[in-house]
Amino acid sequence: MAEFVKTVESSRVPPGSMLTVEAGGESILLANVDGEYFGMGAICTHEQWDLSEGSMDGTAVTCAGHGSVWDLRTGRAVFDEPLEDEPLYEVKEEGGFLFVRKR
Ligand code: FES
């Protein structure tokens, strides 16, 4: 995914929320932290829970599965065992839609 791919209307990801979308054959977690958009792999690398089912506090996303805490800025998790990093995506808003591309 070298080029930007169109996803959903930006109104679907208001500040303080996150949403999992499929784009370019990948599941991507779109998150809006105080108006700034972040994109990260959406499927927890522990046991594949969808991270959008968890909770968000600033750029920290807690997995609803077993409580790993992901950093939207780095794609890294804090957990009681090492977890594989999530991929990161660049997110831009254009014409009322969110576009993503892999970093
Ligand atoms: S599936 Fe996310 S912590 Fe287990």
Q: What is the pLDDT along the chain (103 residues), one digit of tens a residue?
A: 789 999 999 999 999 999 999 999 999 999 999 999 999 999 999 999 999 999 999 999 999 999 999 999 999 999 999 999 999 999 999 999 999 999 9
Find out whether the beta carbon of 66 lies less than 6 Å from any atom of ligand 1.
yes
Number of domains in the chain: 1
CATH of the domain at 48: 2.102.10.10
Find out whether the beta carbon of 46 lies less than 6 Å from any atom of ligand 1.
yes
DSSP letter string, 2-66: -S-EEEEEGGGS-TT-EEEEEETTEEEEEEEETTEEEEEE-B-TTT--BGGGSEEETTEEE-TTT
Domain hosting 40: range is 5-102
pLDDT value of residue 2:
83
Q: Name the closest-CA residue to atom 3, ligand 1.
A: 66
| CA of 62 relative to ligand 1 center, distance in Å | 9
